[in-house]
Amino acid sequence: MAEVVIVSGKQQAGQLVAEAIARLVRSRPDAVLGLATGSTPLPVYEALGTALAGADVSRVRGFALDEYVGLDPAHPESYRSVITREVVEPLGLDPDRIHVPDGSPEGIETTGERYEAAIAEAGGVDLQILGIGTDGHIGFNEPGSSFASRTRVKTLTQQTREDNARFFDSIDDVPMHCVTQGLGTILEARHLVLLAFGEGKADAVAGAVEGPLTASLPGSAIQLHPRVTVVIDEAAASRL
Ligand code: GLP
Q: Where are the domains of the chain?
A: 3-233
The most distant pair of C-alpha atoms in the chain lies apart, rounded to whole Å, by: 45
The number of the ligand 1 atom at minimal distance from the alpha carbon of 160 is 7
pLDDT digits (tens, 9 = 90+) for 174-224: 999 999 999 999 999 999 999 999 999 999 999 999 999 999 999 999 999
Residue 149: per-residue pLDDT: 98
DSSP 156: P
Q: Quick one: fold of 3-233?
A: Rossmann fold (3.40.50)
CB of residue 45 inside a 6 A radius of ligand 1: no
Residue 19: per-residue pLDDT: 98
Residue 1: per-residue pLDDT: 76
Contact 40, 197 (CB under 8 A): yes
Residue 92: per-residue pLDDT: 97
CA quadruple 230, 237, 220, 41: dihedral positive or negative?
negative
Q: How far is the CA of 224 from the centre of ligand 1 (A)?
A: 21
Within the chain, which residues score under 70 in pLDDT? none
Q: Where are the alpha helices (DSSP H) in the chain?
A: 10-27, 42-51, 79-83, 89-91, 111-121, 158-164, 183-187, 202-210
Residue in 39, 33, 2 with CA at minimum distance from that of residue 18: 33
Q: How far is the CA of 50 from the centre of ligand 1 (A)?
A: 24
Contact 132, 208 (CB under 8 A): yes
Q: Is 163 an active-site residue?
A: no
Contact 87, 25 (CB under 8 A): no
Q: Is 142 an active-site residue?
A: yes
Q: How far is the CA of 54 from the centre of ligand 1 (A)?
A: 30
